Structure formats: structure tokens, C-alpha cells
Structure 1
Amino acid sequence: MEHPFARNYESQALKSVSFPTLRFYSRLAGIFWDAGKVAKAGKYDGKRWTEDSERVGRLLEDMGIHVSIEGVENLGFEGPCVFEANHMSTLETLFLPCIIQPLRDVTFVVKRQLLSYPCLGPVLAAREPIALGRANPREDLKLVMDDGQRILASGRSIIVFTQGTRRSGVETSDFNSLAVKLARKANVPVVPIALKTDAWSEGSLIKDIGPIKPSLPVHVRFGAPLEIKGAREEHGTIVDFIKSSFDAWVASDGKA
């Protein structure tokens, strides 16, 4: 548990930063460039992934964004798990590794398209994610179930965004049951992750490059691990945790 984000974390963000969007992306490009070179050289391991992810977290703070992380104590159990989270922005893909990877080896279920991105693609590929094409849902389900069981059996955990695509809000009907089905098949628990990451908003031309909004805090909250015996009831419990957390943050912080 001894890493910069191992406890319930409250950042000491700057009060005001001029041109946060321009500054953020110019510095993020440097992080990506360095990471991509290491990944292309075949040397991108979990330690380097954690370090680069932490650089992204500190960059958020430098832009004046308040970052809050809760519930890391729920990750103190042995063995792999499936993490189920809502999906708002690119931020969580880049920031979650520095919280989770020091405690348990982890990878993602991602869009195959991301693997073609310059710099980011080689980094994600180095972490051996489950990459989905999304053209054939049945094939994607089989891929997640087959590869997911293999990955979990090896001791590595998996992060699944079960809204399927990025959403500005949280509605219970948005979530599929992929995470609980995989966890039940592999006999591992599910750890819910509630996220509010709209400080990094979507762009109008390029979805991944939107305005940075320092007035909106970043929230990450881990729930207790949940053993999956059936699927439907546990799925409801997980989604309720995510939605109630998100709704409380919206009430206290506002939204984009």
C-alpha cells in the first residue's frame, strides 16, 4: 500500500492556472512521447506504467484540478479480480494504473482502435489488453470470456468499462453484465469503481482532446469486493454503488 495514491487521497491542487487546456496537452504529449519510445523498445513494464500514470495524475493537479481517491483499502485482498467502472473520459484509462498497478497487476478491456494511436497504442499493447473490435458483439463477448479467464488465471486483474462507451452521466440501463459474467466464470470477485472525470471533457472535433476544466474535481472511489454467485443481484449492487457515488458528486460539485 506504500505508493503516492495508496491512501484516501486529497490533492493539493493549484488555485488558478492560465490556459490549462493548452498547458495540459503540451505536457501530456511529452509523457506520451517518452512512454511510446520505451514501449516500442519492448521495455514497458508495470513499474514504468505506474510511473507514467502517476505523471498524468500530477499533471492534473498542476492544472488546478482537485483529485480525490477513496476506498483503496478495499484492494487489500489476495488474488486477481475484475474491476467494473463507469466511463466518462480518456482520463481514467491513463490515471487508474498508478492506483491499482502497485497493488495488483492489471490490464484493460479496450477498443481495438486505441492500439493504432501513436505513442498510446504501443503503451497499451505492452500491457496486453483485451482489444475489442465492436463490430460483432457475439465475437467480442467470446473474446472477453476466453481471454479474460486466461488473464485472471495467470493472476492479473482486468478493468472493464461496462457502459461500453463514454457517457456524460450514469444511468442504470447503460451498464451491461459483462464484468459479473466474466467474474463468475473465473470465480473471482468484482470490485466496483465509481468515477467522475469530466474535468477532462470530450472534444467537438477529436473526442479524446477536449477542454480541461479545473473547476471540476476528479473523483475515484473503490467499493468493497463482491463475490459473484448469481449475477443479476450482484450486478445491481455494483451499478447502484457507481450511480449513488456519481449522483452525490454531481450534487456537491456540479458537472460540465
Structure 2
Amino acid sequence: MNPYFPHDSYQTPADTPCHWLDRLAMGSRAYLHTYVIWEIIKGRWLVGKNQYDRAAWAATAYAIFKMVEGCNGRFQISGLDNIRALGHPVVFISNHMSSMEANLFGCLLPQPREVSFVIKESLTRYPIFGPVAEALAPITVGRRNPREDLQKVLSEGGYKLQNGRSIILFPQHTRTATFVPSEFNSLGIKLAKRADVPVIPVAVKTDFLGNGRYLRDFGSLNRNKPIHFAFGTPFSVKNSKQAHHHVLNFIQHHLDNWQM
């Protein structure tokens, strides 16, 4: 069930107004980033009260979603029916352009299904944000020893999947506005095959929010760029190489169409 997006697709209404505080910020990035920080602070407060559950995460994500729309963000989302009726955990494999997709998955994915990210261990040490990230039961990797990271994801990810929790992976080394298939590892495919769960490919185009030069989460806003999310059909991994190429082709196909 998804109380925020009850249909297969969503498109921001053309008459969605700009928030007056964004206008007061004179079209800068200031208001949106301030609002996101405020939502994270509220989430941290709920963590302290042991109340930051799946519903609270979704509410945080949806508040940010609506504020992005209030800052001239225009969403086009498809394939929501592919994830709505899931009765079992899956591995979501997505490209990674900005911090936006991580901030918004909470309201796009169906509830009450629990979900964990694979994230850099250093993120859990951030002030305020770290405890919020920890509350979502992530799988943390150091990115210093690929073999250790692989074993940790397969072990912890397999355990979480067996206990009903889906996993979200961004197999690129870092966020980038350009999709380079050769930089997209097959860790998600390996995890899904070992755990015998389906894969759902996810394509995103979120360069509405740029990556900052010094603080990557606080880049400029490219308000003329629409924001796209596409969720593919679940599929089982029989041949790992073919499954990996299927995910790559799904993402590349959508990115090509969105550029037209």
C-alpha cells in the first residue's frame, strides 16, 4: 500500500504553485536545502524517542517531495504498480545522480514493507543525519576493501531479505549525472541470486538537484530539468550476466528517452 501515490504513474500538476518562501529566497537553493535539513532534524528527534519507523520515514520523504514541487520541481514517475503489490522482498538496483533519490524512496516505495539501503559507513557518523540513517537499518560498507564489502553485503543483505526486508543498492562508485555502464557493478545481481529474490531495476534522472562542489548534498537547483523515476518489472536472476545487462539496458533506455 502507498497512501501517497495510489496510481501507476504520477506527474506534478502544471498549476503547482511555487512556495512563497522559495520566492523570498529569490530562486536560490537556500530554501529547499534549509527545509531538508529541518526535516532531518525532526527525524533525529523522532529517533531519540524511538519513533522513527517506516511510516515516519515515508512522511519525511513525502514532505521533502512536496517541497521540491514547491521549488519548481516537476516529477514524472512511472511503474508504481510494479512495486505496489509486492508480497515478498526484492533488490532494487538504481543509478545514482543526486541525494534526491535516497531522500525520496521512502515515500515512493509501498508500506509497510521495510527497506534498507547499502550506504557508506562514514554516513552513519554524520551529526544529526547519522542516527537517522542508522534507524533505517542500513548495510554499511567502507569502500576500502571491495572483497570485504562484497561479503558483508551478501551476508547482511541475505539475512535481511530472508527476514522480509527489501534492499536498495546504488552500484555506481559515486553519484554522477552521466550514466557510465562500465562503472555499474553487479553486486545487486549477486545478492538477489544468492538470496533467491527478484530484482526491480530503477532508473532515475534527478539532476534537478546538482552535486555541490564542497558539500555534495547541497548543490544548485536546475529548475528547468524535470525529475524522473521509473520502476521496472520484477524479474528473477537465472543468468547473472544477462540480468546485469537487463538492468543496464533498462536504465540506459529511460535516460535516453528522457533526454529527447
With normalisation by structure 1, the TM-score equals: 0.94
Pick closer, same or farther for the CA change 1:45–1:15 going to 2, 3 Å. Answer: closer
Contact 1:171 1:243 in 2 (8 A): no
Contact 2:18 2:69 in 1 (8 A): no
- CA-atom RMSD, angstroms? 1.4
C-alpha distance in 2, partners of 1:6/1:198?
Answer: 26
Q: Tell me what 2:41 maps to.
A: 33
The one-character-per-residue Cα deviations of 1:131-152 (angstroms, maximum 9, x if unpaired) are 1110111100000000000000
Aligned residues: 251
Q: Tell me what 2:109 maps to.
A: 100
Q: Tell me what 1:10 maps to.
A: 11
The one-character-per-residue Cα deviations of 1:47-77 (angstroms, maximum 9, x if unpaired) are 1000001011001001011011100111123
Summarize the alignment of residues 160-175 of structure 1 with structure 2, pairs less than 5 Å apart: 160-175=169-184
C-alpha distance in 2, partners of 1:123/1:164?
Answer: 23
C-alpha distance in 1, partners of 2:68/2:52?
Answer: 23
Determine which of 58, 62, 80 is the counterpart of 1:50: 58
Unaligned runs of 5+ residues in structure 2 are none
Determine which of 210, 218, 222 is the counterpart of 1:213: 222
Contact 2:116 2:166 in 1 (8 A): yes
The amino acid across from 2:17 in the alignment is L
**Alpha-carbon distance, 1:121 to partner:** 1.2
Contact 1:74 1:222 in 2 (8 A): yes
2:200 alignment partner, SS class: strand
Comparing 6-15 with 232-241, greater Cα deviation is found at 6-15
The amino acid across from 1:184 in the alignment is K
C-alpha distance in 1, partners of 2:150/2:2?
Answer: 36
1:147 alignment partner, SS class: helix
Unaligned runs of 5+ residues in structure 1 are 252-256
The amino acid across from 2:228 in the alignment is H
Comparing 150-159 with 161-170, greater Cα deviation is found at 161-170
User: Does 2:74 align with 1:74?
Assistant: no
Summarize the alignment of residues 1-256 of structure 1 with structure 2, pairs less than 5 Å apart: 1-7=1-7, 8-12=9-13, 13-14=16-17, 17=23, 18-75=26-83, 76-102=85-111, 104-251=113-260
2:144 alignment partner, SS class: coil
The one-character-per-residue Cα deviations of 1:80-125 (angstroms, maximum 9, x if unpaired) are 0000000011111110111114262211001111111222211110
With normalisation by structure 2, the TM-score equals: 0.92
Identical aligned pairs, as a percentage? 33
The amino acid across from 1:47 in the alignment is A
C-alpha distance in 2, partners of 1:212/1:52?
Answer: 20
